[in-house]
Structure 1
């Protein structure tokens, strides 16, 4: 259940972040509403994940790394933003760091 709520938190945070870009400085009402709602759902779901016992370091690492990676992919595919090899290496390092945190917590 914790990982399902964590997935919800990730999707909501990504929706909020992408909508932040689309809101054009909160000048567009629809995307602005999605920003506030997305972040509200994200933090609420994340708080329940922590209440269910997932360690904060693990939950936050997964949440933030998945969010960064998904926003980068959405930026490239839908927002016409660039992605170069250095940026890909940075994403790989973030994901590698999360994997190492998971492995460390398993011991």
Structure 2
């Protein structure tokens, strides 16, 4: 259940962040609504994840890393933003860092 809620938090954050771009400086109302609803879903879900006992460092690391990777992928696919091998390597390192935090948290507890 905790990982499902964390996935919901990640999706909410990605929707909200992508909608920031689509809102064109908060001039378009529907993307602005998606920003507010997306962040509301993201932070509410993340709050429940923490309430269910996931350590804050682990939860936040997973939330951030997968959010970063997903937003970067959406930027490349939807907005045709450039990507190169160095950027991909950076994203891989972010995800590997989260895996290290998760493994370290499991062995510390």
Same-fold status (TM-score > 0.5): yes
> If the length of structure 2 is used for normalisation, what is the TM-score?
0.96
Aligned-pair distance for 1:86? 1.1
Q: Could you tell me which residue of structure 2 aligns to residue 48 of structure 1? A: 48
Looking at structure 1, the residues matched to 63 and 97 of structure 2 have their Cα atoms a distance apart, in angstroms, of 13
Instruction: Tell me how large the CA RMSD over aligned residues is.
Output: 0.5
Give 5+ residue unaligned stretches, structure 1: none
Give 5+ residue unaligned stretches, structure 2: none
Looking at structure 2, the residues matched to 106 and 12 of structure 1 have their Cα atoms a distance apart, in angstroms, of 26
Runs ≥4 in structure 1, deviation > 3 angstroms? Answer: none
Aligned length: 107
> If the length of structure 1 is used for normalisation, what is the TM-score?
0.98
1:13-38, CA deviations, whole angstroms, 9 ceiling, x for partnerless residues? 00000000000010000000000110
Q: Could you tell me which residue of structure 2 aligns to residue 34 of structure 1? A: 34
Looking at structure 2, the residues matched to 55 and 106 of structure 1 have their Cα atoms a distance apart, in angstroms, of 10
1:47-102, CA deviations, whole angstroms, 9 ceiling, x for partnerless residues? 00000000001100000000000001111111111111111111011001001001
